[in-house]
A and B are shown apart, each in its own frame.
Chain A
Amino acid sequence: MLNRLTISELTSRLAKRETSARDAAQACLDQIRRVDGNIKAFLSYDAEDALAQADAADRALASGNSPTRQPLLGVPVALKDVLAVKNQPLGCGSKILAKFISPYDATVVEKLKAAGAIVFGRLNMDEFAMGSSTENSAYFTTRNPWDPSRIPGGSSGGSAAAVAADECIATLGSDTGGSIRQPAALCGCVGMKPTYGRVSRYGLVAFASSLDQIGPFTKDVRDTATMLGVISGRDPRDSTSVPEAVPDYTAALDGNIKGLKLGLPREYFIGGLDKEVTAAVNAAVKQLEKLGAEIVEISLPHTDYAVAVYYIIATAEASANLARFDGIRYGLRVDGADPGELYGRTRGAGFGAEVKRRIILGTYVLSSGYYDAYYLRAQKVRTLIRQDFLKAFEKVDLIVTPTTPTAAFKAGEKSDDPMQMYLSDIFTISCNLAGICGISLPCGFTSSPKLPIGLQLLGKPFGEQTLLKAAHAYEQATPWHKERAPL
């Protein structure tokens, strides 16, 4: 059952030559064949290519390469269908890119390959990362490994489900308003959104450029630290990546959180929060206190405006970013008598309902006569939201919240009500607007049915070390991350 191992467990066995990368890759492929007919995390994968990469990793191991030099040597890692891998399909879960083949590698993919990872598979997602359930994928809905009648969360639902179902060791996703943390919470794995600028976005198909960030999904916090260390760093090809040194994130995991100040924002513990989620998060706070952390009540007064700000800024940026899908240079083309007709028909046929809704909303809030009232105002309220966090971080080291207001909901439950779907991201959105970092990790289960509950920790800009330290200390003191989905 090599597919069930963490990165640290697998690399340790590989280093001791107790197993081979080929066996690890084969175990993942076998698990995909066994369970993915139900889970549907993968849009596609190339088994032969994965095994060829595994053989190359085995040769490297045989010639003496070690995990200290290549921290992911021989580790199968799958990717959300929004990241470019040279000569592989890149579809963003959309019909408009159904036949697109990437001409280059994303920076994170180059880094994964340099670290020795076996990079394979295209993971399902909401079309262009717009959604919270994978129901907006143009292909199919991914299922929650804990209960296949429920959604895995989104937009990186395939990335979360694949880790929770042990179909690979770790995955990458992208997070614009919670698209890593929310599915990680609902599937019971660890998911992190790094600080804006920590990870290069080169080769990530843009949704909302001032909010998007790539991050890992893993089975425990140590693996997240390892993955983050591999993918972080300044990249000349992304001018928003920041030249901040990349520390050894695993070195911070010493379990010592004595005296760490954790803020509980009172605005996050009010109406609409499920009882079992409240109980699990309160118990987690007690556990953190027991480990020596100091709990401080704080206020983030503009919390109530975050969803509104987000759906103006994210859709405005999306409407501009998605203008490139015009049927001229790549992707679907539906012919017309003139370019205008061709654009309209191509986009009308190629985009799904949620993408169309967001393009229309984004176009509207940027249009002449409405820009000041909507877009500019939203940017100003964004300033206030960011200031709320920076002020709070003068008093506390981290902020603790639930990741989601409820556990995983049923497929179909919210798919016809965009507003309800948007509100399911209420606790994750502010982190992107403020440009800070956040992590979700398991903190318990609902009783019947048994569904994972996520704890969210939010940290200062470039405060990933403290974030990981606290998450790791909590994880090691609790049993939740050891539970596996019943497959």
Chain B
Amino acid sequence: MADFDVKYVAHLARLDLTAEEELKFGAQLGQVLGYIEKLKEVKVDQVEPTAHAVPLVNVTRTDEVRPSISNEDALRNAPARSNGLFVVPRIVE
């Protein structure tokens, strides 16, 4: 917790913060992490983790082609589109 670096973690999350946000979130999350420390009191050596509480395992479906939304619908909310495709910034020179 002492090495909690807001700026570094925000970068991992691809989340730009203002200097003011860095300062404020750093203090607030420091407090939350301090609170979370209480979990260290619990003895968990012999305990299995729970990822979810559903009484189901390995739900599969048959591998078959089914209708889905159209290209037009899929692109409807795109910030930039062209020729039925999403437009993104150049990633290769």
Contact = CB atoms under 8 A, between A and B. Distances in A.
Contacts of B15: 344, 347-348, 351, 356, 359-360
Interface string A321-349: 00100111111110111111011110111
Contacts of B35: 307-308, 311, 419
A101 B75 CA distance: 11
A461 interface: yes
B2 interface: no
A242 interface: yes
Interface string B1-29: 00010100111111111100100110011
Contact of B17 (A329, A348, A376): A348
A328 B88 contact: yes
B54 interface: yes
Given A302-B42, A319-B13, A360 B29 contact: yes
B39 A377 contact: yes
A56 interface: no
Given A240-B54, A345-B16, A353-B21, A331 B77 contact: yes
Contact of A364 (B9, B38, B59): B9
Interface residues of A, number: 73
B43 to A, nearest CB: 9
Contacts of A380: 42, 44, 47-50
Nearest to A307: B35
Contacts of A327: 79
Contacts of B73: 103-104
Interface in A374-413: 374, 376-384, 386
Interface string A278-321: 00000000000000000000000010110111011000000100
Nearest to A345: B16
B49 A356 contact: no
Contacts of A11: none
Contact of A356 (B25, B32, B61): B25
Contact of A242 (B13, B17, B44, B54): B54
Given A360-B13, A435-B54, A103 B76 contact: yes
A486 to B, nearest CB: 36
* Chain B interface, >50% SS class: loop
Interface size of B as a range: 35 or more
A478 interface: no
A340 B44 contact: no
A336 B32 CA distance: 33
A196 B29 contact: no
A382 B49 contact: yes
Contacts of A340: 14
Name the residue in B11, B29, B31, B52 with the highest tally of chain A Cβ atoms < 10 Å from its Cβ.
Answer: B52
Contacts of B88: 328, 339, 342
A357 interface: yes
A418 B28 contact: yes
Contacts of B74: 103, 329
B69 A338 contact: no
Given A239-B59, A330-B79, A435-B52, A360 B9 contact: yes
Residue among B14, B42, B79 with most chain A CB within 10 A: B14
Given A100-B77, A360-B29, A379 B49 contact: yes
Nearest to A340: B14
Contact of A383 (B14, B48, B80): B48
A471 interface: no
Given A332-B79, A347-B16, A338 B49 contact: no
A379 B91 contact: no
B61 to A, nearest CB: 6
A202 to B, nearest CB: 13
B65 interface: no
A344 B13 CA distance: 8
A99 interface: yes
A139 interface: no
A339 B89 contact: yes
B26 to A, nearest CB: 9
A260 interface: no
11 contacts: A101-B77, A103-B74, A302-B42, A335-B89, A339-B91, A340-B14, A357-B28, A376-B49, A377-B40, A383-B50, A433-B53
* 10 closest Cβ pairs, A-B complex: A435-B53, A348-B16, A379-B49, A333-B79, A330-B77, A343-B14, A380-B44, A239-B59, A210-B52, A103-B73
Interface of A: 99-101, 103-104, 196-197, 209-210, 236, 239-240, 242, 302, 304-305, 307-309, 311-312, 319, 323, 326-333, 335-340, 342-345, 347-349, 351, 353, 356-357, 359-361, 363-364, 367, 374, 376-384, 386, 418-419, 422, 433-436, 461
Given A308-B38, A348-B16, 18 more contacts: A101-B76, A103-B73, A196-B53, A304-B38, A308-B39, A312-B36, A319-B13, A326-B14, A335-B89, A339-B89, A340-B14, A344-B11, A348-B15, A360-B29, A361-B29, A367-B9, A380-B49, A436-B53
